Amino acid sequence: MSSSTHFSDPSSFQQQSNGFVSWLESNPGVKVNPKIILADLRSTGAGRGVVARTNISEGEELFSIPRSLILAVQNSDLKSLLPQDVEALGPWLSLMLVMLYEYLRGEQSRWAPYFRVLPTNFDTLMFWSEAELNQLQASAIVGKIGKQGADESILESIAPIVKANPALFPPVNGLTSFDGDAGTATLLELAHTMGSLIMAYAFDIEKGEDDDDGEGDDDNESYMTDDEDEQLSKGMVPLADLLNADADRNNARLFQEEEFLVMKAIKPIQEGEEIFNDYGEIPRADLLRRYGYVTDNYGVYDVVELSLKDICQSAGLSNNDIESQPRLQLLEENDLLDDGYVIPRPTANATLETILPAELVVLLTTLTQSPEEFEQRRSKNKPPKPSMDANQAGLLYKTLQSKQAQYGTSLNEDINILTGLLPPNAPQALEGSARRHKMALQVRLGEKEVLRDVQTMLESLVANGSLKRSANGDDHDSRQSKSARV
Ligand SMILES: C[S@@+](CC[C@H](N)C(=O)[O-])C[C@H]1O[C@@H](n2cnc3c(N)ncnc32)[C@H](O)[C@@H]1O
């Protein structure tokens, strides 16, 4: 959610919106349907958003942006002003460098009115203090922020270019250069601002081929750790990125055509309704990491992640070092070992078979085999057949309990804290640390609910007697309890 505090000059918010729309419409080729309006949604904590002024039909074009107007490497002069190949930096860093260049050009940049409507402060996890991150307790998301890696990439790839070209990247904040501690700190801060904008606003831009749709929402950990094989270039698409997102009310999509990117209604939209993009089925922890807000309707996508370390510990292994643990080695050699195992929130009809990842069941099976069974498998370099009998269920249950204990507070305690944060007449849009605290609570609560629900499923399986303790780990009578996901 974006509140006033996220924008550099909240007092001229409307003026900046108007300036942006005038600039946008003055660009040749831009078409904006008069049925939509760029709205001020700060009172609901959603910053700017696009709203329907009158009813809109399904399939109707909402706006169309020429590819040449996308803030992207291909459209900036920077690539011809530097000796090096900017694109070779990869999609994240090349766009970051271009955005730094265009931002530092100030009014001279073609995209100056666009920069004025983009936020300068973020609630994405990259910017949380240690105390704020502690509120996420044992959530695996804390290990996926990637701040240190991002700092290193910026210092290694962006800083040398910026420092070597002061005429293209003039220092700001009264600094005489981006050298020295103060200069480096300022550059890092600016680069993180651009990185955060890319993470929450940019689209993956397909090459000018017809017809493919494309929300720019590849889902990767941290920023700058994209799936490098995809290598789609990234771009900031004015107006398209001022749509907010909603898990249930998504009603528009960006279609990437040869010359234009076209936002179309994918459902009939009523007068006064907000127009929403879609971020896909992402857990609230990821929503917070990438976009800096959470809403309850993404709660259905919440997950809990169990680390290999925790599972090994619950199994009584002294460590999870592959070299010294033959059982892990066997899985590693068969490409079946992960650092973490994600369990989704069980839906009403879910079974353990449908929610437990296949690799997790193989790991549980491997760790609970008798030494003889394991030796047999190891001699053939074959992982065991995954099964989910009482031994594996017991190990999983123990791991879930130990994960729950790591959070520090119980589910019920969190429910009470959350209720206390929201006295009946309190404003919904909290600010600053209070807002972050509430979002962290929502995330960890969701994860604890997943833990509780999976434990309940395990308990009821045991209570139903459908889990049998098998001596050989290959109990053909307990078909019901076998994992079918392998
Ligand atoms: C693509 S931008 C959308 C435009 C943004 N509201 C603005 O004012 O610049 C994405 C950012 O908008 C906010 N956002 C998106 N969807 C939201 C929602 N449903 N509720 C509140 N904030 C939302 C988050 O801060 C997110 O990082």
Nearest CA to ligand 1 atom 13: 1
Statement to judge: residues 161 and 270 lie in one domain: yes
The alpha carbon of 27 and the centre of ligand 1 are apart by a number of angstroms equal to: 25
Q: Is position 105 within any domain? A: yes
Statement to judge: residues 102 and 153 lie in one domain: yes
Statement to judge: residues 403 and 441 lie in one domain: yes
The reported pLDDT for the residue numbered 432 is: 82
Atom of ligand 1 nearest to the CA of 119: 9
Atom of ligand 1 nearest to the CA of 241: 1
The reported pLDDT for the residue numbered 472 is: 37
Q: Is position 63 within any domain? A: yes
Q: Is 470 in the pocket of ligand 1 (CB under 6 A)?
A: no
The reported pLDDT for the residue numbered 8 is: 75
Statement to judge: residues 347 and 460 lie in one domain: yes
Statement to judge: residues 277 and 377 lie in one domain: no
> Which of the listed residues 283, 318, 342 is the one where a domain comes to its end?
283
Read off the pTM. 0.89
Query: Is ipTM strictly over 0.85?
Result: yes
Q: 176: helix, coil or strand?
A: coil
Nearest CA to ligand 1 atom 16: 244
The reported pLDDT for the residue numbered 3 is: 63
Of 115, 244, 294, best ligand 1 pocket probe by most atoms within 8 Å of the beta carbon:
244
Identify the CATH number of the domain in which residue 380 sits: 3.90.1420.10
Statement to judge: residues 192 and 319 lie in one domain: no
The dihedral of CA 108, 110, 114, 115: what is its sign? Answer: negative
Q: Is position 195 within any domain? A: yes
The alpha carbon of 238 and the centre of ligand 1 are apart by a number of angstroms equal to: 14
Q: Is 246 in the pocket of ligand 1 (CB under 6 A)?
A: yes
Of 250, 293, 294, 439, best ligand 1 pocket probe by most atoms within 8 Å of the beta carbon:
293
Collect all residues with Cβ–Cβ distance below 8 Å to 83 and sequence separation of at least 6. Answer: none
Statement to judge: residues 186 and 313 lie in one domain: no
Collect all residues with Cβ–Cβ distance below 8 Å to 262 and sequence separation of at least 6. Answer: 61, 63, 64, 65, 254, 255
Q: Is 45 in the pocket of ligand 1 (CB under 6 A)?
A: yes
The beta strands (E) that lie in 151-257 are given as: 203-205, 212-213, 233-235, 244-245, 252-256
Identify the CATH number of the domain in which residue 261 sits: 3.90.1410.10
Atom of ligand 1 nearest to the CA of 200: 27
The reported pLDDT for the residue numbered 466 is: 62
The alpha carbon of 481 and the centre of ligand 1 are apart by a number of angstroms equal to: 43
The domain containing residue 408 runs over which residues? 302-481
Q: Is 245 in the pocket of ligand 1 (CB under 6 A)?
A: yes
Q: Is position 289 within any domain? A: no
Q: Is 304 exposed, middle or buried (0-12, 13-18, 19+ CB in 10 A)?
A: buried
Q: Is position 403 within any domain? A: yes
Q: Is position 90 within any domain? A: yes
| pLDDT profile of the chain (486 residues), mean per 10 | 68 94 98 98 93 98 98 97 96 97 97 97 95 98 96 97 96 92 96 97 82 43 53 92 96 96 98 95 97 95 98 96 96 96 95 95 96 95 91 96 97 93 61 90 98 94 62 34 29
